[in-house]
Amino acid sequence: MVVDAEKEVPKKVSHVVYKENEKNEEKAELSLYKKDEHEPNDPFFIIHILCFLLGFMNIMPTMFFSTAQSYWMYKFRNTTISGDVTVGVDRTTLQSYYQSVSLTVSTIPSVLFTTLLTFYGHKIPAMFRLVHSTAALFGVFVVFTIFTQIDSDTWQTEFFVITMILLVIKSAFASILGMSSMVIVARLHHRFMFLFLLGQNGNFISTLLQILSLAVTDTSVESGLLYFTVGTLTVLLTYVILIICRKSKFFQYYDVENVQEGKGETLHWSETKDVFILVWPSVLILIAVIFVATCTSPIGTLVVSENDGDGSVWTTKYWIPVAVMLSMDLTSLSGRFLSKTLYITHANKWFYIIASICRVFIVPFYIYSNAQPRTLPVIFDRDWQFLTCHIFNAVTQGFLLNIAFMSVRPLAGEKQQGALKLLGFIMSLLMIVFTGNAIVIVKIL
């Protein structure tokens, strides 16, 4: 009888956790944006700015390099054909596979370091990790900026390999920064988490910078130099503001300097099950969203305009950064704003889960759009057809991702830090599980 009773304990614990969370859900939701009356003032909104920048730094190291499409197309162009870049059917193998391969090699170190930090991050204080990883990223950006001034036409393959190695290093430090910043921001009032998540959707900043760089320069080398220089200065600015805020009264009030995941904050293997039970709706949404993203993202940068070949500035220079990237970024941001006040509850969870799964039908539309080079027939050859689907994909992606993370507090309650770390780990794990989608999708075109 004693043995039987012991066997029932795990089930009862899980059931109690689930029921307790359900009872406190409404109470937690009502207090999400109620400001702490004893909280120090934030002069010049510098803490707000930092939280946005930290969120931006979560996505910027990855998206910044994929957004520099014109620069990479120049670096890996067919040098036997005249012109600054080669596009469409004239793309080289390195040009066609840059986005998919870079995504693949960046995912492995991301998952490795995310896993280590999820279960062993408590051994090193979060602020220490955040400061030093930001400094290391600054160094990586400096190296990439220097490479814009080096002629690699005669050793493109070697330069491709070096670039991938640097992206691996970048991804490792970016993972440390991402996990550490999430722990720091989670210690602050919940309204700062929205700014953090808003920053994570700051891809449009990189895209606008890319467009500006193309507009004010005459060559891809000059635009690449300007683009990476501003990116490097952005990382430096984040580092400087972080150092300033580190000793502020605001951070001292929340004891941010001494944030170190202890028993209540570090996710242990034994606690994973209980935390998962609380946030499983968010996990299912992440699975569906990331699957679609890894299938559609590499194709989007290969799509050419229906007017491709007319030699216009729009089709040769601005189609990818404006029509593909900027439209994606801005509409995804609008999706996040639309979901700002919405949360997953036990009453509406299946609506969001089913909606995220239905988005899988977007993938065939991308496959049969005008992505080049290809062997499959093009069914959706009009620009308006591609852009309609592209914008719908972006809005729903931003909407669902924001809901998945913003719902952690009402779903997990006091376990929100552990839940956020679990979601971060699962997100990285999903990236490596689905990373092959990018290469496979490009190959079957």
CATH number of the domain to which 439 belongs: 1.20.1250
Give the pair of three-digit tokens for residue 310: 């007319």
* Strongest mean pLDDT among 79-93, 236-250, 327-341: 236-250
Name the average pLDDT for the chain.
Answer: 80
Burial class (CB in 10 A: 0-12, 13-18, 19+), 65: buried
Judge whether 3 lies within some domain: no
Dist CA 156 CA 152 (whole Å): 6
Q: Which residue's structure tokens are 């300007």?
A: 226
Beta bridge partners of 380: 369
Percent of the chain scored above 70 by pLDDT? 85
How many C-alpha atoms does 375 have within 13 Å on its Cβ side? 4
For residues 408 and 423, the answer to whether their CB atoms sit within 8 Å is yes
Burial class (CB in 10 A: 0-12, 13-18, 19+), 276: middle
Judge whether 75 lies within some domain: yes
266-275, 313-322, 375-384: which range is least confident on average?
A: 266-275
> pLDDT of 339-383, one tens digit each?
877 888 778 888 889 999 999 999 999 999 988 878 888 899 898
For residues 434 and 92, the answer to whether their CB atoms sit within 8 Å is no
Phi, psi of 369 (to 5 degrees): -85, -175
Q: What is the pLDDT of residue 412?
A: 73
Judge whether 1 lies within some domain: no
pLDDT at 3 over 50: no
Q: Give Cβ neighbours of residue 7 (< 8 Å, ≥ 6 apart).
A: none
- 122 SS3 class: helix
Judge whether 296 lies within some domain: yes
Between 337 and 135, the more confident residue is 135
pLDDT at 314 over 50: yes
Dist CA 200 CA 399 (whole Å): 13
Judge whether 165 lies within some domain: yes
The whole-angstrom distance between residue 439's C-alpha and the CA centroid of its chain comes to 19
Dist CA 149 CA 221 (whole Å): 7
Q: What is the pLDDT of residue 210?
A: 84
How many C-alpha atoms does 320 have within 13 Å on its Cβ side? 25
Q: Which residue's structure tokens are 């780990």?
A: 425
- Split at pLDDT 50, 70, 90, the class of 5 is very low
pLDDT at 86 over 60: no
Q: What is the pLDDT of residue 323?
A: 86
Give the pair of three-digit tokens for residue 288: 């569906």
- For the residues 91-103, what does the mean pLDDT come to? 82
C-alpha distances in Å from residue 66, one per residue of 59, 69, 100, 101, 137: 11, 6, 10, 11, 16
Q: 384 is in which domain, residue-wise? A: 9-444
How many C-alpha atoms does 319 have within 13 Å on its Cβ side? 25
CA 135-137-143 angle, to 5 degrees, is 110
Phi, psi of 264 (to 5 degrees): -85, -10
Q: Give Cβ neighbours of residue 265 (< 8 Å, ≥ 6 apart).
A: 122, 183, 417, 418
Structural domain count of the chain:
1
Q: What is the pLDDT of residue 126?
A: 85
> pLDDT of 27-57, one tens digit each?
444 445 556 666 777 778 888 999 899 999 8
Dist CA 97 CA 374 (whole Å): 13
> pLDDT of 61-76, one tens digit each?
877 888 888 888 888 8
280: enclosing H helix or E strand: helix 272-300
Judge whether 283 lies within some domain: yes
- For the residues 228-245, what does the mean pLDDT come to? 93
Q: What is the pLDDT of residue 91?
A: 76
Q: Give Cβ neighbours of residue 395 (< 8 Å, ≥ 6 apart).
A: 331, 332, 334, 335, 338
- 84 SS3 class: coil
> pLDDT of 381-411, one tens digit each?
898 999 999 999 999 998 998 888 888 777 7
- For the residues 209-226, what does the mean pLDDT come to? 86
Q: What is the pLDDT of residue 185?
A: 85
- 373 SS3 class: coil
> pLDDT of 148-205, one tens digit each?
999 998 999 999 999 999 999 998 999 899 888 888 887 887 778 888 888 887 778 8
Judge whether 2 lies within some domain: no
Dist CA 392 CA 63 (whole Å): 20
- Split at pLDDT 50, 70, 90, the class of 6 is very low
pLDDT at 110 over 60: yes
Judge whether 151 lies within some domain: yes
On the question of a cis peptide bond just before residue 43, with omega within 30 degrees of 0, the verdict is no
Q: What is the pLDDT of residue 248?
A: 82
Dist CA 221 CA 85 (whole Å): 11
135-144, 239-248, 334-343, 382-391: which range is least confident on average?
A: 334-343
Does pTM surpass 0.85?
no
For residues 196 and 52, the answer to whether their CB atoms sit within 8 Å is yes
